[in-house]
Structure 1
Amino acid sequence: MHLKDTTTGDIMKALEKLLHETGGGASGLALNLVALTTEDEREEVEKASSFAAQEHPYRLILAIPRDVDAAEPRIDAEVTVGDRLGSAEAIILRLDGPAAAHLTSIVLPMLAPDVPVVTWWLLDPVRYGLEHELRSFADRRITYSARAADPVQSLFRRAESYAAGDTDICWTRISLWRSLIASAFDGVTQSVDSITIKADDGDPSAQLMAAWLHTRLGVAPDVVDTEVERNSEHLPAIASVAFTMSGGETMEVERQADGTTVLRQAGLPKRRQTLQGRTLGQLLAEELRHIDPDTAYRKVLDTFQEQYAGSRA
């Protein structure tokens, strides 16, 4: 259902009408997902949201700032239930002028009651003056620093302004790497003397990997800037992580261009598995499984912030 130059009240009446016709309702929703995007990214965000909605039924409110310099506020909306967005209830807002600057007052009446609110954005909200707006009403906030013009600097800004409930897709991208490395240390009794990460040092995921290993093992890794061939932008730009133990033994996890990942460990046969890039929808779905603040991410982000600030001093 398309609504031109409309109001919040009319949008909610349209949603209620569609829910009545389809027999749906907010009682079955797990959360509200408020996403900020551009028209160019809309299709990608819709596709990711549709995938994640299979696991987490939610009300999606997709806000697209349009002519932000317009003198008069205007809201055009599309309201759907199911359809191309799967099991999600969806309100797509295109906002002009002052309407774009007052996102909170527009979105709050649209939220399904008594379920958490997650905000998600791929673009830099500072460009639209909306960072505070997106933070003010959310239980969780999901960013994607790798999409910024300066990804590592963007992650550093996230660290400086961290609030409980913040997370970043760049952290989610390394969950498979972290699981593989943690399992490799099962049964290892020696301490680690040194760690070398071969990675693109401009990749926030590589920086978070270094900070995670530092917090877990008490050793600051040496990140060797390396050109990494990837078959998906959602893969971390990490080629290998190598450890030297206190007794001189070594262990290395190396990912090849085709996704084959090899674990080499002294005294043991090579172990192989495949690490391929997941889709944005899969990464979003993983993040939405955790509504409580991610304390592990907070600790790692603090370590990254300290290291990054020290490197610039």
Structure 2
Amino acid sequence: MIVDLPDTTTNDINKKITGLREEGGAITLSRVLTLVIAPDSDECLEDAVEAANYASREHPCRVIVAVAGDRGAQQARLDGQIRVGADAGAGEVVVLRLHGELADHAESVVLPFLLPDTPVVAWWPGAAPAVPARDPLGKLAIRRITDATSSPDPLAAIRSRLDGYSDGDTDLAWSRITYWRALLAAAVELEPHEPISSALVSGLDNEPALDILAGWLASRIDCPVRRTSGELKVELVRAGETITLQRPQTGVTATLSRTSRPEARIPLARRETKECLAEDMRRLDPDEIYHEALQGIGKVQYT
């Protein structure tokens, strides 16, 4: 069910949410957090809500979407929309469209809808502030999620995350390579247990997940790490063998090969935004490894 409330107030929206819950017979709901989404355009709004609905089935939450409407409007106005039931995952979605001067004060409009005594997670699915923790919406949250992949310049975006980093920050580019990191770490742990002498990360130039993967390698191993464009693969070279993990750019199955050993074929499809969002909502503590990976990007050799 979707209910539109044009030219309304936060009080009226809250009353309507309560009324809809009572009509549906749900007086209490177990929700573990509030997810605040700040899309930079209408184009990414629906995709962000769809991803949030998917994640809410694992993390029941209230989803609040604060999107700027007509900034040039002479009168400040709030248009609300409430989504419940099949349109809202495991919770409810509140879409707040802010017009006029109200567009510059999203945090004050969002505040009345935050669930009491539950953590707040903020997500920018498009362009993100330079320092998320200092953004008015970011100040409300203990976990702040960005997505460099959606930026006009993904490499510049992922590099800038270090300067604007605060405990609680993360980027979906980081969770996109979770399985890659796990497979590479597991392969390195096997014999012959020799140090890695060089590493190569290859793939599309506009894929920041590969840049932070290279940064992660540079932060963990004491050897040159190169990032280049080409086929999607990671090569780790040591004296006794070369470990290669590769996958077609649009494929779903990767190949893990090691010198003088049989190849292993592994399901490794590109992770969708909704899967990455659900993973990032599982932990609310600082991700020190992510921070170290950001620092490692500066050590990567681009060729």
Mark yes or no: TM-score above 0.5: yes
Match of 2:286 among 273, 293, 303: 293
Contact conserved, 2:128 with 2:146, CA < 8 A, in 1?
no
Question: 2:111 — aligned with what?
Answer: 108
Question: 2:159 — aligned with what?
Answer: 156
Q: Which runs of 5+ in 1 are unaligned?
A: 229-238
Question: 1:19 — aligned with what?
Answer: 21
Match of 2:273 among 275, 280, 287: 280
Q: How far does the alpha carbon of each residue in 1:117-174 deviate from its partner, in whole angstroms, 9 at most, with x for none?
A: 00111221459x9971221111111111111111111122222111111100111111
Question: 2:197 — aligned with what?
Answer: 193
Tell me the SS of whatever aligns to 1:293. coil
Amino acid at match of 1:49: A
The equivalences for 1:41-190 within 5 A come to 41-126=44-129, 132-188=135-191, 189-190=193-194
Q: How far does the alpha carbon of each residue in 1:38-89 deviate from its partner, in whole angstroms, 9 at most, with x for none?
A: 2222221121111111111100001121111222211100123223122121
Distance in 1, matches of 2:205 and 2:226, equals: 10
Match of 1:211 among 209, 215, 221: 215
Question: 1:3 — aligned with what?
Answer: 5
- Give the CA RMSD over aligned residues: 2.1
Aligned length: 296
Distance in 2, matches of 1:117 and 1:26, equals: 19
Contact conserved, 2:133 with 2:139, CA < 8 A, in 1?
no
Change (3 A) 1:126 1:269: closer
Match of 1:249 among 216, 241, 249: 241
Amino acid at match of 1:197: V
Contact conserved, 2:199 with 2:237, CA < 8 A, in 1?
yes
Distance in 2, matches of 1:217 and 1:191, equals: 8
Q: Percent identity?
A: 33
Amino acid at match of 2:13: I
Contact conserved, 1:119 with 1:140, CA < 8 A, in 2?
yes
Q: How far does the alpha carbon of each residue in 1:1-52 deviate from its partner, in whole angstroms, 9 at most, with x for none?
A: 2211111111111111122222435651011000012222222112111111
Question: 2:264 — aligned with what?
Answer: 271
TM-score where L is the length of structure 1: 0.88
Contact conserved, 2:200 with 2:234, CA < 8 A, in 1?
yes
Contact conserved, 1:213 with 1:220, CA < 8 A, in 2?
no
Q: How far does the alpha carbon of each residue in 1:166-201 deviate from its partner, in whole angstroms, 9 at most, with x for none?
A: 100111111111111111122231001111122224
Amino acid at match of 1:18: L
Change (3 A) 1:125 1:243: closer
The equivalences for 1:301-312 within 5 A come to 301-304=294-297, 306-307=298-299
Question: 1:34 — aligned with what?
Answer: 36
Distance in 1, matches of 2:209 and 2:94, equals: 32
Change (3 A) 1:25 1:34: farther
